[in-house]
Amino acid sequence: MIIVFKPHTPDEKINEVSDIITKLGYEPRVIRGVEHTVIGAIGDEQMHRSLEILKSFSFIEDVIPIQKRYKLASREYHPADSLAQIGSEKLGAGFFQVIAGPCSVESLDQMRKAAKDVASCGVKILRGGAYKPRTSPYDFQGLGDEGVEILRKVKEETKMPVVTEIVGVSHIASVSAVADCLQIGARNCQNYHLLECVAGAGKPVLLKRGLAATVEEWLSSAEYLLVHGCPQVILCERGIRTFESSTRNTLDLGAVAVAKRESHLPVIVDPSHAAGRVELVLPLARAAIAVGADGIIVEAHPNPMEAASDPAQQIKSGNFKKFMDGINPLIDLMRNLRG
């Protein structure tokens, strides 16, 4: 921590603060400038009590943390790209994955058809929500346990690993018995109790960025998962809430580039929830690949017109080849650029 004093702060105040810093377990180093004096407080900010309380002194201008609040997620801690293992499939560290499937699990036939359609285009990992976090209580809430059973059957038939969302603590165990990767949705990105409980399930977690979460908050949520024992975390940018209403959410590709620099964790993009409209999914997916994402998660439904949730943004799974043909050259190009 760096403590910056206001110009011309008397020595007695600086000494007083030095004593407080020592009592809190840090070693104070005083640096006197022409006008400003600063104290560098040496010590592990993770372990020691925060010095932010000093901001309440009228003669202190600022208290600036030096250490990142997300240590385990940071590249300083783990310089090489980390890899997530989703069932039989690798994601990150050079392994690009397209995860696809319906927004919600609706029936066995629907999931079977979606899985078969996307698998025939080269997709290796299936998505589908059995538990759905819906904005309105009157909207379809997902099939719950029945949906999990459908996922189990389709996984058994297709051998595709499955990503599905956890919306509450009560179903972590039953969903983990089937899912290969647990999704934390945007609305729960900062539900810290849920993050702690999901971390203990022993499965990789796909962590969506919250609708209004900064990159630092998003990475701090990843830190919650890691510090509570989650084996692997995948970050997912899915668009944020801004003043712009021409897309459902504003896809923040800058955040993808920042997250890739700041963290060793794989970063994927969800162009479907950012776009909100099917015709925008391909261009946003292409942009995500070009910015360096490690994968994309895309909604695909056998008959989007009849989808129980998010009908406007789902690609007809029978047409998924056209989408894949539109992104595959870019995936190859980026792989070659990385060398």
- Which of the stretches 114-122, 135-143, 182-190, 221-229 binds ligand PEP when contact is defined by CB under 6 A? 182-190
Q: What is the 3-state secondary structure (H, E, C) of the chain?
A: CEEEECCCCCHHHHHHHHHHHHHCCCEEEEEECCCCEEEEEECCCCCCCCCHHHHHCCCEEEEECCCCCCCCCECCCCCCCCCEEECCEEEECCECEEEEECCECCCHHHHHHHHHHHHCCCCCEEECECCCCCCCCCCCCCCCHHHHHHHHHHHHHHCCCEEEECCCHHHHHHHHCCCCEEEECHHHCCCHHHHHHHHCCCCCEEEECCCCCCHHHHHHHHHHHHHCCCCCEEEEECCECCCCCCCCCECCHHHHHHHHHHECCCEEECHHHHHCCHHHHHHHHHHHHHHCCCEEEEEEECCHHHCCCCHHHCEEHHHHHHHHHHHHHHHHHHHHHHC
Q: Is residue 155 within the footprint of ligand PEP (CB under 6 A)?
A: no
Q: Is residue 147 within the footprint of ligand PEP (CB under 6 A)?
A: no
Q: What does 262 bind: Mn ion, ligand PEP, none (CB cut-off 5 to 8 Å by kind)?
A: none
Tokens representing 167 are 């919306």
Closer CB to ligand PEP, 41 or 275, in the complex: 275
Closer CB to Mn ion, 103 or 324, in the complex: 103
Q: Give me the residue whose beta carbon is nearest to Mn ion.
A: 103
The number of residues making up the chain comes to 339
Closer CB to ligand PEP, 130 or 201, in the complex: 130
Closer CB to ligand PEP, 238 or 264, in the complex: 238
Q: Give me the residue whose beta carbon is nearest to ligand PEP.
A: 185
- Which of the stretches 116-124, 184-192, 222-230, 283-291 binds ligand PEP when contact is defined by CB under 6 A? 184-192
Q: What does 112 bind: ligand PEP, Mn ion, none (CB cut-off 5 to 8 Å by kind)?
A: none
**Contact characters 87-116, ligand PEP, x per CB under 6 A:** ----------------x-------------
Q: Is residue 129 within the footprint of ligand PEP (CB under 6 A)?
A: yes
Q: How far is the CB of 4 from ligand PEP (least distance, A)?
A: 39
Q: Is residue 185 within the footprint of ligand PEP (CB under 6 A)?
A: yes
Q: Which of residues 198-217 bind ligand PEP (CB under 6 A)?
A: 208
Q: Is residue 238 within the footprint of ligand PEP (CB under 6 A)?
A: yes
Size of residue set near ligand PEP by CB under 6 A: 10
- Residues lying near ligand PEP in the complex (CB under 6 A): 103, 129, 133, 185-187, 208, 238, 270, 273
